[in-house]
Amino acid sequence: MAAKKSVPAKKVVVNLPQAAQNMRVWKFGDDIDTDAIIPGRFLTINNPDELAKHAFEGTRDEFAKKVKEGDAIVGGRNFGCGSSREHAPLALLGAGVRVVVARSFARIFFRNSINVGLLPVICLQADKIADGSKISLNIKKGSLESDGKQFKIEPVPEFMQGIIDAGGLVEYAKGLKEVPVCTKSRQ
Amino acid sequence: MGATIVEKIFSHKCGTEIRAGEVVMAPLDGAMIHDITGPIAIQKFYEMGGTKVFDPKRIIMLFDHQIPADSIEAASNHVYMRKFAAEQGIHNYDINEGVCHQVTIEKGRAAPGEIIVGADSHTCMYGAAGAFATGIGSTDMGFALRFGALYFKVPETIRAEVSGKFQKRVGAKDLILTIAADIGADGATYKAIEFTGKTVRKLDMAGRMTLCNMAIEMGGKAGIVAPDKVTWEYMKGRRKMKSFALASDEDAKFAEKRFYDASGLEPQVAIPHNVDTGVPVSKVVGTHIDQVFIGSCTNGRFEDLAEAADVLGKKKFNPNIRVIIIQASRDEYLKTLKAGLIEKFVKAGALVEAPCCGPCMGGAFGLLAPGEVSLSTSNRNFKGRQGSTEGKVYLCSPATAAASAITGVITDPREV
């Protein structure tokens, strides 16, 4: 049975939120690396639900036990740095998290998150959001509300918005027969 | 205005002028997958409706993180990837060749002017061969496998110019730890780092690989060294191609230029738990250690092991320290074997393993218990990277690792 849980993984339900209300915050600091999100010894697992059981193991053990569907992660600078392991956003998705807010993101994690349906939100004032508080997000307005205060969020690069609108890169790619190689996009 | 080497690579590939900041769907010369990130990439390829990969000859597949399979899950992932390789006609190096980045370069699968992606963050190492190479996630890799192209925001370039001659026992690893401490863990996010200057020109390929490998530790999208005689000499016998000129124009627009002097550089140690914490070894001399790891894609080449062996001389490793030595590839293993270094290491008390990621993978073997300390030539010292989150990892050069493995505490290699 052990072998079955790793291959193949179940399909991730992609549902990038445009607005999400009253998300409980799990607050983290700067430079949260993907080893902290999902340690290397669990990378044989490809299934988000199984990965979620080990999310932040050794870093914040109560996370996997107490996280609830619809909770949000808030980090500081350089969230998701280090290894390119997509198991990191998958573990958070498996835990029911759909939104990660941070002052800044590491490049690969940012792109992986959008690709798999976890929404990374850049908020330069993320440090002001408290652990355990509730946040609400309004992408269209470009704002995030925390404890009655409004914070500005940064727009997603335009070419990535298409992937978000499609519901992730898999959905974006499904309809394509070929890609327009060497065409430039607006940023 | 001139162009950076990165802008030139993208412009040449697409036959039109492309500048930093532009987003382009660029064709890929290579795509690398390994046993950790490969299975999900393959699943995504299928989910995207993929049936045939864009070009089996451009796909580099191997297993290095969990080899020989350390669990039934790992073995099952290997089986899944082997099946994909057979179905698609991809050559699979399997468990036989070593760490993905070393193997990709030494097999001539990365060359000057190419655009290569790998489902591993240290893919930036191929910049040592003059390629633009960057790490991506598994879903992007699924897209890359299917279409042979990927969206890139062409990065600006930070130019790191290095002059001065290294002291004895000081080298590329000490330099890159210094640069990482200077630029910071996110100082190069979305940017490429070009390593240049007389000191870099004098570095061998092994040293250049060490530099480019760690560009990601500053958030860098790529690290690159403009190809020169050293590069083209290395390509001989690995890749049939004529040499050509490829370098940044002096009047190119760089994000910034930073200057480093290697001559005054001390051996460096990055202290737990971030890579940008490099300090001169003198600040941490005498620190307790339990395990020393000499190896990884960063420092597992023959040149690294020869330096360690030179420091070792006729001494023995401290019996209280677990010394794990792992070559980065089969080729490097054979060179080390033929030079008699493996016998020397084993006689001195080290455990010499077959080429793989080893303890840097943080799962396969060589893990730390709570409270234990590792001194490692690898690239990351994050909390839990080599086992328990209550363990500590210090990063250093092969010379510093060997010197410390002899004395049993962190030691300045110039004093052994």
pLDDT confidence band for A183 (50 / 70 / 90):
confident
Residue A174: its H or E element: helix A169-174
Model pLDDT, residue A10: 39
Give the torsion through C-alpha atoms of A104, A105, A107, A108, to 10 deg: 180
Written as six digits, the tokens of A2 are 């052990």
Contacts of A173 in chain B (CB under 8 A): 48-49, 142-143, 146-147
Quote the minimal CA–CA distance from B237 to chain A in Å: 31
Contact B374, B391 (CB under 8 A): yes
* Band of residue A140 on the pLDDT scale cut at 50, 70, 90: confident
* Chain B residues near residue A9 by CB distance under 8 angstroms: 39-40, 43
pLDDT of residue A169: 95
CA distance A130 to A149: 12
Q: Do B383 and A174 touch (CB under 8 A)?
A: no
The residue of chain B nearest to residue A11, with distances taken between CA atoms, is B47
CA–CA separation, B255 vs B342, rounded Å?
44
Q: What is the pLDDT of residue A19?
A: 63
User: Which helix or strand (DSSP H or E) is residue A135 part of?
Assistant: strand A134-138
* Binary contact (B380, A78; C-beta < 8 A): no
* Whether the predicted pLDDT of B304 surpasses 50: yes
pLDDT tens-digit series, residues B16-28: 999 999 999 999 9
Q: Is the pLDDT of residue B363 over 90?
A: no
Nearest CB neighbour to A84, from listed B25, B79, B119: B119
8 Å CB contact of B39 and A46: yes
Nearest residue in chain A measured CA to CA from B359: A40
In this prediction the pTM is 0.95
Q: Which residues of B touch A186 (CB under 8 A)?
A: 23
Q: Which residues of B touch A112 (CB under 8 A)?
A: 137-140
CA distance B357 to B216: 17
In angstroms, how far is the first alpha carbon of chain A from the final one?
Answer: 46
Flag if A182 and B21 touch (Cβ within 8 Å): no
Q: Do B75 and A3 touch (CB under 8 A)?
A: yes
Q: How many CB pairs under 8 A join A and B?
A: 193
Q: Above 70 in pLDDT, residue B320?
A: yes
pLDDT digits (tens, 9 = 90+) for B205-264: 999 999 999 999 999 999 999 999 999 999 999 999 999 999 999 999 999 999 999 999
Assign A9 a pLDDT band (cuts: 50, 70, 90): very low
The fraction of chain B above a pLDDT of 70, given in percent, is 100
A7 interfacial to chain B (CB closer than 8 Å): yes
pLDDT at A113 over 90: yes
Give, as one character, the DSSP assignment of residue B304. Answer: H
Asked whether the beta carbons of B239 and B111 are under 8 A apart, the reply is yes
Return the ∠ at Cα A165 (arms to A159 and A169), rounded to 5°. 70
Q: Cβ separation of B135 and A108 shorter than 8 Å?
A: yes
Q: What pLDDT, on the 0 to 100 scale, is given for residue A17?
A: 60
The pair of structure tokens assigned to A180 is 């327009």
